[in-house]
Structure 1
Amino acid sequence: MNTVFLNGDYIPADQAQVSVFDRGFLFGDSVYEVIPFYQGVGFRLDEHLQRLQYSLRAIQITADDDWNTILTHLVELNGGGNLSVYLQISRGNTGRRSHVYDAEMTPTVFACCNPIKDIYGSGPDAVSGVRAIVTEDLRWGRCDIKSTGLLPNILVMQQAKQAGAQDALMMRDGLLTEGASCNLMLVENGVIYTPKRGSEILGGTTRELILELAAKDGISMQEADIDYGRLLAADEVWVSSSTRAVVPVIEIDGQPVADGKKGPLWARMFELFTCYQNDLMNG
């Protein structure tokens, strides 16, 4: 992907430069979104942009550009099709390192594209179940803000990789919160359960879509406390994110989830996702 967006300009990626004094670089004083585009159309774009504004307000950055137009054009410049757009907004740069910032600073806005697979078009057989580990959630207390301060997430994902797993589920005060880059759900007796939304988890756009689709299809879904024992005893376990949709977890800490295969309710949810995506693309 050769073209990026930086502070109002579309430029070749190898020409993009940001000051070493930018607060996003120095302090992680920035927020971001990752938005999938299928056939050049943003998937849940409005919901992503609403969450972006929530994060910006939470850390008191003002940036109200026409994101829809900017990102759609960036996708077009990179050939359209199936791409994910990474959008990052930092507080900006004052030419020095200081914990104190000027409220009138001009934000640094950066966006780039990466190719993604059309999950929905490939069908359920193309989705592989993942193995996960459970680890302590050492992140800060405002995980509802989509901050670029992702060092704890990086460390637990590396821990998962070293354990031969593909994902890491995090636990705080004895309760599961979410994955390193995903939300968590489990199935018990045909009911979907997911950790309660609060400052400890990110309000995932795909998580919210699952809630909507489940309700429309008559599938019971509840927010609930989930401890380690309940997780291991579940009939099915899923993780969800914007670029991966809803993915079955087949093993946790070396123990199979139920029979270690993709479950029937996951297959139904994937079907609902596929219908939703087709309706969106065919408008």
Structure 2
Amino acid sequence: MSRIVYVNGEYVPEEEAKISVFDRGFLFADAVYEVTTVLDGKLCEFEGHCARLQRSTAELEMPLPWSREELLEIHRELIARNELIEGMIYLQVSRGAPADRDFHYPEAGTQPSLVMFTQAKSLVDNPSAARGNKVISVEDIRWARRDIKTVQLLAASMAKMQAEAAGADDAWFVQDGLVNEGSSNNAWIVTKQGTLVTRDLSRLLLPGITRASVLKYAEAAQLKFEERPFTIAEAQDAAEAFSTSASAFVMPVVEVDGVSLGDGTPGPVTKRLRELYIDESRKALL
């Protein structure tokens, strides 16, 4: 059955969804995106994703003419039309396609493009959460503004392919000997003293919505945490490790560059945080 996709004001079957070849998102990766989780047919952490979208477009001096209420209505309409119970909604805003290819931004007043579609996927009962992921480290070759959620994802795709070729599940980006983040997630370790560690926010990494919630829930649960850089060696010596993202929640990491963590299975702190995140998220679905 064909999905219904939203393209610039219209809900159309995915086979009919089209956008101009002159769109700057296609030609220059001049676009930003968000992925919002759907659980039980409702939106998870919509407010956070909406706020980050507004920040990303502002950082790129890109117009965002849709209000929070309008974006919420489109999200809900896509859920209804596609009868989505669990999965994700992908949203992409580009600067649009006003004219021929040109490095310069178009004149003010040009209407940006908005594309959204659903992806049905089992998120809560993800088999990877039961066995844990293996990660490798890769050099961070991305551009310098990783705090903006742009569609420039070729380096992330290459990292994931490197991980697959190495028999791993994912990759962590390393710069100057320090872990920035995962290929599509934030990276965490749990020290042998039980302290959660994840890198402090800067232009080096994306301010993850799930990351922020996990920090909030950890504090409420009186778990110690530190926002600071860590090395691969420190990760290999940790009691546990995990990643956080909208589509994977809290995902255990059981091996880093060939070194098993603990007994090689998801640890108790990670399991607790995953359960806590899912439970708390379900209480606040929109």
| CA–CA separation in structure 1 for the residues paired with 2:5 and 2:87 | 13
- Tell me whether 1:233 sits opposite 2:234 in the alignment: no
CA distance in 2, matches of 1:11, 1:167: 34
Percentage of identical aligned residues: 33
TM-score by length of 1: 0.95
Looking at structure 2, the residues matched to 2 and 278 of structure 1 have their Cα atoms a distance apart, in angstroms, of 25
Match in the other structure for 2:258:
254
- Give a deviation string over 1:50-77, Cα, whole Å, max 9, x none: 0010001011111131111111111111
What aligned pairs does 1:151-190 form with structure 2 within 5 A after superposition? 151-188=154-191, 189-190=193-194
Aligned partner of 2:120 in structure 1 is 115
Aligned-residue offset at 1:125: 9.2
For normalisation by structure 2, the TM-score amounts to 0.94
Following TM superposition, by how much is the alpha carbon of 1:126 offset from its aligned partner in structure 2, in angstroms?
5.7
Structure 1 residues 125 and 243: alpha-carbon distance in aligned structure 2, compared to 1, 3 A threshold: closer
Partners in 2 of 1:98 and 1:46 — Cα distance? 34
**1:1-40 superposed Cα distances (whole Å, 9 cap, x missing partner):** 5100000111111111111111000000000000011122
The DSSP-based 3-state class of the residue aligned with 2:217 is helix
4+ residue runs of structure 1 moved beyond 6 angstroms?
A: none
Answer with 99-108 or 199-208: which moved more.
99-108
Q: Pairwise CA RMSD of aligned residues? A: 1.6
In 2, Cα distance between the equivalents of 1:18 and 1:275? 39
- Where 2:131 maps in the other structure, the secondary structure is coil
Q: List aligned pairs for 1:46-61, cutoff 5 A.
A: 46-61=47-62
Shift of 1:170: 0.6
**Alpha-carbon distance, 1:161 to partner:** 0.5
Match of residue 135 from structure 1: 138
Q: What SS is found at the alignment partner of 1:134?
A: strand
Aligned-partner SS, 1:80: coil
CA distance in 1, matches of 2:258, 2:112: 45
Would you say the 8 A contact 1:124–1:270 is kept in 2?
no
Partners of 1:127 and 1:247 within 8 A in 2: no
- Structure 1 residue 95 displacement after superposition: 2.8
> How far apart are residue 278 of structure 1 and its match?
3.6
Counterpart of 1:84? 88
Structure 2, gaps ≥5 residues long: none
Q: Distance in 2 between matches of 1:149 and 1:267?
A: 32
Between the two proteins, the alignment pairs up a number of residues equal to 280
Deviates more, 1:225-234 or 1:203-212: 225-234
Distance 1:228 1:212 in 2: 25
Q: Deviations over 1:113-141 (max 9, x none)?
A: 0002141xx39996330011001011111
Instruction: Give the superposition deviation at 1:157.
Output: 0.6
Structure 1 gap segments, 5+ residues each: none
Deviation of residue 198 (structure 1)?
Answer: 0.5
Compare 198-207 and 1-10 and name the one that shifted more.
1-10
- Separation in structure 2 between the aligned mates of residue 29 and residue 125 of structure 1, nearest angstrom: 33
CA contact (8 A) 2:128 2:251 kept: no
